[in-house]
Structure 1
């Protein structure tokens, strides 16, 4: 008599060793579970030429559970189903079949197209869609179009702008700026004294920079003319004498070289164009000096000299 070794229940995947553990109510070392505890499903696993009973809380993929007063069992789905709810309702199809209304079919009904990734029959995509999940929801647009909320656009709607990297319509971002600062003290570039007219400035910060098609930022700085009480520069009298001596030297040179005089005149005109405020002050000084000269040149006339003999 030849003895054959019989595998223990513990050697089979998913089967406990003995009825005291797992979902088995009754069992044997050779056939596994013979009956299950309440709410467990009996599933028969094929190992070689024999079947082993396994008690499970839910049936594995490719099977569906049926309950009865006598026992709960796992029943195999239809051949074309990868998973199912019952024998007449598939939830996922095997490769080569496509799900439609709970059935797995090799060809989809008219008006629907096959989706190999979902293994389902889906509505035909709109012309502008490269791929879609339904007849009005695109997942990818054709080249040159921009996607927004499942639709494809040649031109993005208002308040949106095209993103060529993502090929999507993204919301526009407009510039935002803060409040103006206080005006700065009145000043004049390169001068700390001896001036009456100057400039003052104010600024504001950019809080949000705009996107490429958003509203640009307004001016963030302003400059305006201002007046201050003139403050004399130290050593002003000495500087005036130096200027007078320089002017006398230039006059002598002008007599000797008329062309040089004309060149210096042109230089002074260009300098006045660059500094209009200096020109105004210079004109005022010239007018004042002219009035003083007129006062000194015109002597007062006595009453006696004014009488006619």
Structure 2
């Protein structure tokens, strides 16, 4: 009987020891230590993260012949995340998917296939065309369109056409001009100028009392190639000096003298013209008198002949 009791006690002590060793080993396996990465809740040195902090996904990366767990805020390309009360996992997408929402719904296809209703296909339906940029089956682009968002909105036009509001134009509308760099219709920019400055000082020209003054204005906005050009930014007009010096007085005297000379010359020419006119009138009067005399003489000779005949 005593031997049985001793045996039972020994078994109980062994079980307690074994249980203690198991908890110690398990604690060492799951403790956070040098082998853990950021975001891990539990980990091991050989397998990395075993569980993650809340809201993070555990992802198994292959390292040679073994898998190494890491915790991520979102799953990498080619994987999708699933959440559960126990843990959040990253699962691999289907082989034809580049990215996916779940195993049965692709969001982007690998090169060579095109997305349509969550599936990746090598050929698009008859009413759609493949887009190598989007890797999707899309509606045909508008006319003269090289790439588009849909059948109504172009994103790039063919050569010789310019994009405006999602449409391709051979000639840009009024108030727009074509940009060869971006192949778009861009708004025209017209020149804008500021207000005129005050008139400057009167700068004398030569020795006269008359001169020239000017004013300017600035260009506020330079025009685009097809915009309205800038008007003149410099304006000049004749002016008269308020004060004239000695030299100016002499100049005025010379100008008056020249005017008088021109006046005298004009008057002299008038007198000579009048004299020539009087001479022409006298000459004409003399000719008329000679003509009358000759006519009278012919009349008298005619009368004399008539008298002799009677």
TM-score by length of 2: 0.61
Contact 2:162/2:169, CA 8 A, preserved across alignment: yes
Question: How many pairs were matched up?
Answer: 235
Output aligned runs, 1:184-223, within 5 Å. 184-186=200-202, 188-191=204-207, 193=208, 195=209, 198-223=211-236
- 2:170 equivalent in structure 1: 154
Determine if the alignment matches structure 1 residue 119 to structure 2 residue 131: no
- Relative to 1, partners in 2 of residues 1:51 and 1:201: Cα closer, same or farther, differing over 3 Å? closer
- Give the unaligned 5+ runs of structure 1: 1-16, 244-277, 292-309
Q: Partners in 1 of 2:47 and 2:202 — Cα distance?
A: 102
Runs of 4+ in structure 1 over 6 Å off: 235-238, 288-291
Structure 2 equivalent of residue 248 of structure 1: none
| Separation of aligned partners in 2, 1:124 and 1:60 | 33
1:38–1:165: structure 2 CA closer, same or farther, 3 Å change rule? closer
**In 1: Cα distance, 2:61 partner to 2:248 partner:** 112
Match status 1:77 vs 2:93: yes
Offset of residue 122 of structure 1:
2.1
Aligned pair partner of 1:287 in 263, 267, 272: 263
- 8 Å CA contact retained: 2:142, 2:167: no
Structure-2 separation of matches of 1:205 and 1:152: 38
CA offsets 1:56-85 (integer angstroms, 9 cap, x no match): 443322221222233332222112111112
Partner of 2:111: 95
Structure 1 pair 95–232 and aligned structure 2 pair: CA distance change class (3 A): closer
Gaps of 5+ in 2: 1-28, 268-310
Distance 1:281 1:62, change over 3 A: farther
RMSD of the alignment, in Å?
3.8
1:189-220 deviation per Cα after TM superposition (whole angstroms, max 9, x unaligned): 222x4x4x554433323332322221222233
Q: Is the 8 A contact 2:116 2:136 kept in 1?
A: yes
